[in-house]
């Protein structure tokens, strides 16, 4: 038999359409009835829990009213005021130069110390510019 615990409970309780009904040939009748009762209680409990959850969600949705009528507020803040810090991967990358030829574009980009300093300066300048806005 394949399937999860829920399907096993349905099999033992002889409920649902997902599993074949249990014949219980290897156990006594008392043990089978006891197992069926336990599984039926577990299945009913899960069903009630789902129903309560859906009712609660519907009530919550009824309480919340979303309306788009009113003044539209524009977001004036763009980005954070903190300067962007270069991370460990930034030393291996740089902005793609659109003027580069195809042969230059296909080669791996190199970043030496001077370009690293220039990139750091560009980022600090752009963060200062954003802070002024």
Whether 68 is in a domain gets the answer no
What confidence tens digit (pLDDT) does each residue in 85-130 have? 767 777 666 665 656 655 555 566 565 666 777 777 776 665 554 5
Domain membership of residue 113 as a residue range: 90-132
Length of the chain: 133
pLDDT band at residue 52 under the 50/70/90 scheme: very high
Whether 85 is in a domain gets the answer no
Provide the whole-model pTM.
0.42
Check whether residue 56 and residue 98 sit in a common domain.
no
What confidence tens digit (pLDDT) does each residue in 69-88 have? 655 555 555 666 666 676 77
Residue 16 token pair: 């649902």
């Amino acid at each position: 038999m394949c399937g999860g615990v829920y399907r096993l409970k349905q099999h033992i309780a002889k409920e649902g359409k997902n599993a074949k009904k249990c014949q219980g040939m290897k156990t006594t009748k008392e043990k089978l009835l006891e197992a069926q009762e336990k599984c039926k209680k577990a299945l009913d409990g899960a069903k009630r829990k789902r129903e309560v959850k859906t009712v609660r969600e519907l009530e919550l949705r009824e309480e919340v009213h979303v309306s788009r009528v009113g003044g539209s507020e524009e977001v004036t803040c763009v980005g954070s005021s903190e300067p962007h810090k270069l991370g460990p991967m930034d030393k291996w990358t740089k902005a793609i130069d659109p003027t580069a030829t195809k042969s230059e574009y296909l080669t791996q980009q190199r970043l030496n110390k001077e370009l690293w300093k220039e990139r750091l300066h560009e980022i600090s300048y752009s963060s200062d510019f954003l802070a002024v806005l």
